[in-house]
Amino acid sequence: MKYHTVIEKLPQELVREDQLELLLRERAIRLAADLLRQGELVAFPTETVYGLGADATRSEAVAQIFLAKGRPQDNPLIVHIAREEQLKQIIAGPLPPLAEELIKTFWPGPLTIIVNKNEAIPPVITAGLDSVAVRMPAHPVARALITAAGIPLAAPSANLSGTPSPTLATHVWTDLQGRIPLIIDGGPARIGIESTVIDLRAQTPLILRPGGLSRERLEAVLGIELEVAAEITAEEEKPLSPGMKYRHYSPATPLLLNNFDRAEQLAEISEQYRDKRIALVVTAETARGLEHLANNFKVVVMGSRSSPAGIAANLFAILRELDHLKLDKIIVEMIPETGIGMAVMNRLHRASKVE
Ligand code: TXA
Ligand code: MG
């Protein structure tokens, strides 16, 4: 244990957009900004998931992120900014026209754009690529922290590599205690799933990672249909990028997906897992038909089928909770891939992959 990790909790009434001035004066923010300027790591809330920040202009500071998370070196990081002027420190050349449109509409918010990188960005952030990922988070604590530190922050999700992203400060504690000096607790991350990553460098933009901002909303603003990058299988990718072959977003308990759309499926599950300890993670609508199984299985409601955003907000916390129970299997209901449902299913597919 290198550090005695401290959690600083901010008063909930200050975690608001209109309280930025007061937030900047909070001890936790000033302490965190000092640590970041000294090259240390700080975990902080964003509206998507908690991030693990380091000074993006210093290689030695950024290198600590990979060590603390156990993150493969070949997986590049997102640079977080609080004001548009900070883009100048990061990007090479002018913004692509589509980027301007998206920034105007969706920043601050759960959108990360890939642009050409400028020389000030150390290669450790981008895993040697000539592009860089940039995002302006909307969370008031993230904005206050970046502003107080006065530097852009390189920040991945604040979990150990491979586990579900943290949506609460306690999740960060579980994964990173002893590895970092400070966690700022700003309450639950509202969206609960990571930002959407879009590459705007080519003629046709490409969604590299579905996330908190839906494809439909991006398409409405750009006036074009967007492609989503295909999932790369572990085998294909092996020679290129070994880090990505690991399971992502995964609980330690094996996870299976199921449609729960036929009564026979339930009968099959009951039969197959008769003597096993199983959790069924389902929508409220499906749960109503499962009451007779409540003695055999743990049934957890992840939200309503009519609100994929609600499901996104709960998902990672549920997977982490269930992991504590050391079950034989977690079976999760599939939801339609519309809106943020696409990001939810993307994470679930990856979590269900066997190494
Ligand atoms: O919501 C989020 O994006 C959170 C919060 C903390 O901002 N951050 C986050 O970071 O999810 P991370 O490191 O867990 O995921 C970053 C993603 C990875 O899929 C990475 O491969 C991709 O962004 N990425 C980063 N730089 C890239 C680049 N230059 N080209 C392509 N993909 C890149
Ligand atoms: Mg991550």
> Residue ranges of the alpha helices (H) in 20-58?
20-25, 27-37
Whether residues 58 and 131 fall in one domain? yes
Give tens-digit pLDDT for 144-176.
Answer: 999 999 999 999 999 999 999 999 999 999 999
Indicate which CATH number applies to the domain containing 287. 3.40.50.11030
Ligand 2 ion: residues within 5 Å (CB)? 157
The reported pTM is 0.95
Tokens in use for 132? 């860089």
With a cut of 60, say whether residue 310 has pLDDT above it: yes
Position 1 scores a pLDDT of: 73
Whether residue 262 is found in the same domain as residue 199: no
pLDDT at residue 345 above 60? yes
Tell me what the mean pLDDT of segment 22-35 comes to. 98
Query: Strand 182-185 relative to strand 42-44: parallel, antiparallel, unpaired?
Result: parallel
Q: How confident is the model at residue 245 (pLDDT cuts 50, 70, 90)?
A: very low
Q: What is the pLDDT of residues 78-126, one digit of tens each?
A: 999 999 999 999 999 999 889 999 999 999 999 999 999 999 999 999 9
Burial degree of 1 (CB within 10 A; 0-12, 13-18, 19+): exposed
Residue 188: name the closest of 165, 164, 166, 167 by CA.
167
Ligand 2 centroid, distance to 94 Cα (angstroms):
28
> How confident is the model at residue 247, as a pLDDT?
58
Q: Which ligand is nearest to the CA of 249?
A: 2
What mean pLDDT is predicted for residues 124-129? 96
pLDDT band of 12, cuts 50, 70, 90: very high
Mean predicted lDDT score pLDDT of the chain: 92
Establish if 250 belongs to a structural domain. Answer: no
Cα 236 from chain centroid?
24
- The Å distance, Cα 76 to ligand 1 centre, comes to 7
Measured distance CA(248)–CA(157) in Å, rounded: 12
One domain for residues 214 and 268: no
Query: What confidence score (pLDDT) does residue 231 get?
Result: 64
Residues 18-26, mean pLDDT to the nearest whole number: 96
Residue 241 within a domain: no
Ligand 1 centre to CA of 287 (Å) is 34
Share of the chain above pLDDT 90, in %: 82
Residue 119: how many CB atoms within 10 A of its CB?
7
Residue 242 reports pLDDT greater than 50: no
Number of independent structural domains in the chain? 2
Q: Is residue 233 part of a domain?
A: no
194 lines ligand 1 (CB under 6 A): yes
Tell me: the pLDDT tens digits for 52-86?
A: 999 999 999 999 999 999 999 999 999 999 999 99
Any ligand 1 atom below 6 A from CB of 163: no
The sign of the CA dihedral 288, 293, 294, 299 is negative
| Predicted local distance difference test score (pLDDT) of residue 174 | 98
Q: Output the residue whose Cα is nearest ligand 1's atom 15.
A: 156
99 and 170 in a single domain? The answer is yes
* Residue 313 belongs to domain spanning: 255-351
DSSP-derived 3-state class of residue 109: coil
Per-residue pLDDT tens digits for 285-305 = 999 988 777 777 899 999 999
Backbone angles phi, psi at 93, to 5 degrees: 75, -175
Q: Domain check: are 219 and 260 in the same one?
A: no
pLDDT confidence of residue 126: 97
In angstroms, the CA 222 to CA 218 distance is: 6
The residue whose C-alpha atom lies closest to atom 22 belonging to ligand 1 is 76
Distance of alpha carbon 79 from alpha carbon 72, whole angstroms: 17
